[in-house]
A and B are shown apart, each in its own frame.
Chain A
Amino acid sequence: GNSVTQMQGQVTLSEEEFLFINCTYSTTGYPTLFWYVQYPGEGPQLLLKVTTANNKGSSRGFEATYDKGTTSFHLQKASVQESDSAVYYCVLGYNQGKLIFGQGTKLSIKP
């Protein structure tokens, strides 16, 4: 079946540190993979979208890389800021508009 796993439930960093969040997925088709971010009191919003065609995506200083061989998908940022504090979701998209969300990684930044 289709599934997504995020093992890091919580990550705490200091400002300007490097962020790396890993995600693994399982699917029988050709998925599109997303990273969504959710700030407190808001709904999730798209951060990045990566398809099998391009394998990489970047936005707002974040970069996502998709490795079909290891069925992994990770998010990184070279230097985090306090404003990056949020919950980050790895998401698998497939037929009929279905999105499967990972468990989420809560990022806390120490000022």
Chain B
Amino acid sequence: ETAVFQTPNYHVTQVGNEVSFNCKQTLGHDTMYWYKQDSKKLLKIMFSYNNKQLIVNETVPRRFSPQSSDKAHLNLRIKSVEPEDSAVYLCASSYWGGEDTQYFGPGTRLLVL
């Protein structure tokens, strides 16, 4: 099956803990992204990687760091979570270029207590 896969589906943690989310795509794309979707369903890009190189790094807190081992994998680590980090984190992939369709995974829902 060719798609974008994310794990875990759901994660509950406490303030100050470290969390890590995984994303893998089997579509053969060379670019991957992380988006944050808040409780009002607003989606904003956080990072994008092209062939393991960071291309876009929007203004996100430094506790967020993307990690890429190869062009099919892009993980997201949050060093010390805050309550405002509660959201759905969506991974996407595409071929390089602003006009290409991005394919999204189902998301990881994070709840920070």
Contact = CB atoms under 8 A, between A and B. Distances in A.
Contacts of A103: 40-42
Interface residues of B, number: 28
Interface in B29-56: 31, 33, 40-45, 48, 50, 55-56
Given A43-B90, A101-B43, A104-B42, A93 B104 contact: no
21 contacts: A41-B106, A43-B90, A43-B106, A43-B107, A45-B104, A51-B99, A87-B41, A89-B43, A94-B98, A95-B98, A96-B55, A97-B33, A97-B55, A97-B94, A97-B98, A97-B100, A101-B42, A103-B41, A103-B42, A104-B41, A106-B41
Across the A-B interface, the 3 shortest Cβ-Cβ residue pairs: A43-B104, A101-B43, A32-B99
Contacts of B48: 96-98
A82 to B, nearest CB: 20
B61 interface: no
Contacts of A95: 98
B96 interface: yes
Nearest to B58: A98
Interface string B77-100: 000000000000010101011111
A96 B98 contact: yes
Contacts of A43: 4, 90, 92, 104-107
Q: How large is the interface on A (under 10, 10 to 19, 20 to 34, 35 or more residues)?
A: 20 to 34
Interface of B: 4, 31, 33, 40-45, 48, 50, 55-56, 90, 92, 94, 96-107
A99 interface: yes
A77 interface: no
A35 to B, nearest CB: 12
A93 to B, nearest CB: 5
Contacts of B55: 96-97
Among B31, B92, B102, B104, chain A packs the most CB atoms within 10 A around the CB of B102
Nearest to B49: A97
Among A44, A87, A100, chain B packs the most CB atoms within 10 A around the CB of A44
